[in-house]
Structure 1
Amino acid sequence: MSTYRDRLPGVPEWGRCGVMGVIGVTPGSYSDGKLRLDVGQAVAHGLELVGQGADIVDVGAESTRPGAVRITREEELRRVLPVVRGLAEGGALVSVDTTRADVAEAAVDADARIINDVSGGRADPAMVKVVARTGVPFVLLHRRARSADTEGPAGYGDAVSESVAEAERQMDAMVTADVDPAQVITAPGLGIATGTRADDWALPARLDAWRRLGRPVLVAASRKRFLGTLLADPARGDPRPPRARDAATAAVSAIAATQGAWAVRVHEVRATADAVRVEAALRTARHPEPDSHR
């Protein structure tokens, strides 16, 4: 197993699991169902998330729902850049959610400080060069399925060990292409790269396997379908709607925090921000610093 350093350039250490709040400037989002193309409203919403406890605001303009049609590069830039710039000017630590290298680079120029690529750098061959050149942290999300087939079977034997091994190979390839390993954040592909609902539960249940890669781990379970299936209406069997999955999301966030997750990515910030702070307080109470009671 490769050995990687465990710090992220340009990102503060919070002493607890961080919270990444989501801003989707896209119509047809499976969770929002809204279009936030009014820059002022989108920026205000992002800063509101910061006020609710978000440490990072993740801005994206493309939906990853099954069957989503890609928008053009020009439209993605039009949606993303003013919001990134406005949030950064407002003091937020901004992540850009994109699979396009030129959009990522333009967003970093607009003061985004993290690149979050749901393809793990595979959708655009130029992405790895942008990551290496900019030096910003990069979320390497592991996946097998394509964006147009996010619900297709991944064909795992052991989802955890196989996905971790594949993520490590992705990481090694990026390092070979001159990305500093200190830039890499790993992320299990919950609801994207998994083959079954059991796989979706296995990944956050065994974050220790991801931690062995030696890099920070981001958990993005927010409002995912496997939560809706778990909480399905007992009479009719209908999955619980996305916006009614936030309490379950906060529960997964707290559990991820206990397993050493670096951050969790969520749509509803306040409950998760509270949950990770409670987890940190309990952890401190269990293992107090020698001078903490003086």
Structure 2
Amino acid sequence: MTSPKDQARLAFPGGGLSLDRPRVMGILNVTPDSFSDGGRFVAREDALASARNMIAHGADVIDVGAESTRPGAVPVPPEEEWRRLEPVLSEVVAMGMPVSIDTYKASIARDACRAGAVVVNDVWGLQKDPDMADVVAESGAAVIMMHNRTAADAGIDILDDIDRFFERSMTIAERAGIPAERQMLDPGIGFGKTLDQNYLVLNRLEMLAKYGRPLMVGASRKRLIGAVLSVETDDRLYGSLAIHTVAMMKGAAMIRVHNVQPHADAARIVQAIGREGLA
């Protein structure tokens, strides 16, 4: 397999995204119940202003989602999910930054790609909706395949579970005709894992390079930070920065964040450190 550094690009319509430096994905939730910023950007103008702000502060991709995936969230019917997305998606696309659609539903991914999204961020790694892989393949979009579980289990080997999950996701992608250069993997920090398992995965992150796919890590404001620092959601920026900086140092090609500017600065520092001896 080729390494993520050798691959150096995530392909999608419009030319793709070079991965020669750590990239920052800004989170735009148009949901009333997301764990961190639910309800803040439901209004169309507020959502668009947030997207413009993230772009100005250094976001490389805008990830738009209309269904909360937080633990205990109520599932949203596709019709309601698209009702939330439609007023903002095409206008965010028109801003000229690559747009990702955060959904596990094939119908939403299809409509979003038709509206201009070029990345599908699937928190179930193509394993929830049997039509998702075909939709991604036909659209030409890139796909981010995240590891997930319906519930955490302290008794399992989480690294082995991730291995088996990723092998299945990559097999599904290959069978659908999604080439390796359009695939990214996400270990799913905060999804179906205990606190110890989350930190174990982060500590062993470099082991996931064996798949020859670039990695994305998203731990922004999550409970594993609050559990260590004893702070509420809005006070988890520093913890988020710490985790994402470590992840980039361990090889993450992209980080998914709420606070774009400080993370874009951190990514630039990681990039500068990585230049040592390469001049």
TM-score if structure 2 supplies the norm length? 0.92
Which residue does 1:213 correspond to in 2? 211
CA distance in 2, matches of 1:275, 1:217: 17
Alignment RMSD (CA, Å): 1.7
SS in 2 for 1:212: helix
Which residue does 1:88 correspond to in 2? 93
Amino acid at match of 2:277: H
Q: Deviations over 1:167-204 (max 9, x none)?
A: 1222112212322222111000111132x211100112
The within-5 A match list for 1:153-168 is: 153-168=152-167
CA distance in 2, matches of 1:269, 1:247: 13
Contact 2:195 2:224 in 1 (8 A): yes
Gaps in structure 1 of 5+ consecutive residues: 146-151, 233-239, 290-294
Q: Please report how far the alpha carbon of residue 85 of structure 1 lies from its aligned counterpart in structure 2 after TM superposition.
A: 0.7
Could you tell me which of 62, 66, 70 is aligned with 2:71? 66
Q: Deviations over 1:257-290 (max 9, x none)?
A: 1111110001111111111111111221x2232x
Contact 2:127 2:169 in 1 (8 A): no
Which residue does 2:222 correspond to in 1? 224
Which residue does 1:202 correspond to in 2? 200
CA distance in 2, matches of 1:245, 1:268: 10
CA distance in 1, matches of 2:155, 2:177: 30
Amino acid at match of 2:101: V
Contact 1:119 1:142 in 2 (8 A): yes
SS in 2 for 1:120: coil
In the alignment of these two chains, the number of paired residues is: 273
CA separation of 1:250 and 1:4: change in aligned 2, threshold 3 A: closer
Could you tell me which of 119, 123, 138 is aligned with 2:124? 119
Q: Is 2:217 the partner of 1:246?
A: no
Q: Please report how far the alpha carbon of residue 35 of structure 1 lies from its aligned counterpart in structure 2 after TM superposition.
A: 4.3
Structure number with greater Rg is 1
Amino acid at match of 2:81: E
Identity, in percent, stands at 36
Which residue does 2:170 correspond to in 1? 171
TM-score if structure 1 supplies the norm length? 0.88
Which residue does 1:101 correspond to in 2? 106
Amino acid at match of 1:8: L
CA distance in 2, matches of 1:257, 1:214: 16
CA distance in 2, matches of 1:282, 1:35: 36
The within-5 A match list for 1:134-149 is: 134-145=139-150
CA separation of 1:273 and 1:156: change in aligned 2, threshold 3 A: farther
Contact 1:217 1:261 in 2 (8 A): yes
SS in 1 for 2:278: coil
Amino acid at match of 2:186: A
